[in-house]
Amino acid sequence: ENSDTSKVYASGKFYVVFPEVILNSSITTDKLEGTELFPTDLKNTFNITTNFEIQNELYPGYISEVRIIENHKIYYPIIIDRIYNTLVRQYYWDANRKFTFTARDIKPGNEYRQLNFMDTNRFNSKNVSAQYDGIEYSRFFKQGAKDINGGEILIKFNDKFADYMNVNFTFRAPEKNYGDIYLVGAFNNWLISNNYKMNRDVDLYSIKLSLKRGIYDYQYVAAVGNRNGKISYDWQILEGNSWDTKNEYHIFLYYNDPDLGGYDRIIGYTLVKSK
């Protein structure tokens, strides 16, 4: 607040871009190879390729990596590092000034679930359910409605209904048990955190959050353990994985600038959409 700098209404991460290089990026559909997955939609993937040519004043050896941010998942970047060339993260340099970076096997997921309690007539109590019908279920075989690509829209701060609500999220797991389930969304920067691990009662999971009246995209993430006891997080198994999903991919080109003691400078940016 201008009159009281001790009051912080929001915080976040942002990128500073020096747009010196034009990035030409494209997205194609593909299937995972060499693996058996069920449901087979789990094999659906996107490949993103970025081509560019640098100017004479830039040194090719300082081109370090390309990072791809899906929607608002800034804490889970898809990184293509020129040092590590793999089957799914590929880098090519023509030994002059042309480069190509490719990220393969990016799962599209589904449109996000959406919490919308802007309607003060329908949501007129301090305690509300995330969905008017109550319990939510897996959407693996159901394509979601149009979302806002992981964002949020808050009611105006000076609106008389601009208050915080106690929002209860309730999810019933499918027959197959996936262990812990986490709630992620625009309200927590899409971070998987123990603070958002849902409370479990047999196959019913729940959590209550205090949220300002508005619209939020969100989803459920399953924690999956392997035979070695290592935990991974599955963003698709409870939500679906369809090529019809409309995602935005923010693409950043990093340059390891030796000036000022050395720092990573973003010298290129573009946006591609999956639909």
Least confident of 48-62, 100-114, 218-232: 218-232
Q: What are 99's two structure tokens?
A: 């480069």
CA angle (13, 14, 17) in 5-degree steps: 155
pLDDT at 10: 67
Query: 67: buried, middle or exposed (CB in 10 Å: 19+, 13-18, 0-12)?
Result: buried
pLDDT at 121: 85
Taking 80 as the threshold, does the pLDDT of residue 2 lie above it?
no
226 versus 253: which is more confidently predicted?
253
Model pLDDT for residues 136-161, shown as the tens digit of each residue = 999 999 999 999 999 999 988 788 87
pLDDT at 166: 95
Tell me the whole-structure pTM to 2 decimals.
0.91
CA-CA-CA-CA torsion sign (242, 243, 249, 251): positive
How big is the chain by its Cα radius of gyration, in Å? 21
Q: What are 57's two structure tokens?
A: 């004043």
88 versus 275: which is more confidently predicted?
88
Q: Confidence band (pLDDT; 50, 70, 90) for 8?
A: low
pLDDT at 156: 85
Q: Report the domain count for the chain.
A: 2
Model pLDDT for residues 150-205, shown as the tens digit of each residue = 999 998 878 887 889 999 999 999 876 668 999 999 999 999 999 999 999 988 99
Same domain, 224 and 132: yes
Model pLDDT for residues 15-45, shown as the tens digit of each residue = 999 999 999 999 999 999 877 888 899 999 9
pLDDT at 1: 54
What range does the domain containing 41 cover? 24-108+246-273
Number of residues assigned to the chain: 275
- Does a structural domain hold residue 152? yes
- Does a structural domain hold residue 100? yes
Same domain, 122 and 211: yes
- Does a structural domain hold residue 240? no
Same domain, 142 and 228: yes
Same domain, 34 and 66: yes
Q: Confidence band (pLDDT; 50, 70, 90) for 134?
A: confident
- The answer to whether the bond into 39 is cis (omega within 30° of 0) is yes
Dihedral of the CA atoms 175, 219, 198, 214 (nearest 10)?
-140
Same domain, 120 and 223: yes
DSSP state at residue 195: G
Other beta carbons less than 10 A from residue 81's beta carbon: 15
Same domain, 101 and 123: no
For the chain, counts of helices (H) and of strands (E): 0, 17
Same domain, 135 and 172: yes
Taking 70 as the threshold, does the pLDDT of residue 9 lie above it?
no
Same domain, 55 and 146: no
- Does a structural domain hold residue 261? yes
pLDDT at 20: 96
DSSP 228-273: TS-EEEESSTTT---TT---EEEEEEEEEE-GGG-EEEEEEEEEEE
CA distance 45 to 220: 20
Same domain, 157 and 253: no
- Does a structural domain hold residue 9? no
Taking 90 as the threshold, does the pLDDT of residue 249 lie above it?
yes
Same domain, 91 and 123: no
In this structure, which amino acid lies at residue 268?
A: G
- Does a structural domain hold residue 159? yes
- Does a structural domain hold residue 12? no
CA distance 213 to 187: 11
| Average pLDDT value for residue range 98-112 | 98
pLDDT at 3: 65
- Does a structural domain hold residue 15? no
Same domain, 96 and 149: no
Say which CATH number the domain at 99 has. 2.60.40
Kindly report the average pLDDT of the chain as a whole number.
Answer: 91
pLDDT at 180: 93
Same domain, 132 and 200: yes
